[in-house]
Amino acid sequence: MTALSYLRFFADLYDVPRETADDRIGEALDELDLKHRERRLGDVSKGMKRKVAIARSLVNDPDVLVYDEPASGLDPLTTNYVLEFTRDLSEEGKTVIFSAHNLYHVESICDRVVIMNHGEIVARGTVDEIRDEHGEVDYRVFADGAVDGAEASGDRYVVTVDDMAAVEAVRERVADAGGEVLDIRTREPSLEDVFLSLAGDGRVRNRRPGGDPNPRERP
């Protein structure tokens, strides 16, 4: 079957009128940027098949959708299309239950999150609520000279502390040494940091999927 014949088949199963079905199918495939709609599904890429599967879930215009790992194994461009499309569905008023192991994807699109470990719910709420309850925030003070506890960071030195009182103490030490504080940044834990902490593995901190550091820093 081609993408169009496949989607029309499912529309028929739901008794969706052909004209209505074609409008929904065309709109979904346009938003997902799916070309080659008359190509046989057996001859298309995994990403195109995933887009067709998402379009299939919309032919009967449901209020609630369940997507299990919709972006798993896709190239970055297709992943972005899928995530943006999922976000658009939410903005249109649909409820999307989004299950994924890639917590960066969850963090970027989900309004509310449930974290499970060994079949048990260990945290729930918005990303900010979960981060506030289970994460640890630290502060990085950058200065132009070294003081006790500082580490070299390029042509600057950085001291990492746990609260604003400690930030002020570092500022005073830097001033006493004749130096200047250049920047102060707050580093928040990612959702993956929180999950690893709740799962009992504190060995990996501030990491993104793929192993790249991803501290959530803001001035």
Domains and CATH numbers, the chain: 3-100 (3.40.50.300), 137-188 (no CATH)
pLDDT tens-place string over residues 148-175: 888 888 889 999 888 888 899 998 999 9
pLDDT tens-place string over residues 115-132: 888 888 989 999 889 988
Question: Does residue 192 have a pLDDT over 90?
Answer: no
Distances (CA, A) of 149 to 78, 96, 158, 215: 45, 47, 8, 20
* Cα separation, 86 vs 50, whole angstroms: 13
Write down the pTM of the prediction.
0.64
How confident is residue 61, by pLDDT bands cut at 50, 70 and 90? Answer: very high
pLDDT tens-place string over residues 27-50: 988 888 888 888 999 998 888 899
Q: For residue 201, what are the contacts with CB-CB under 8 A and spacing of at least 6? A: none
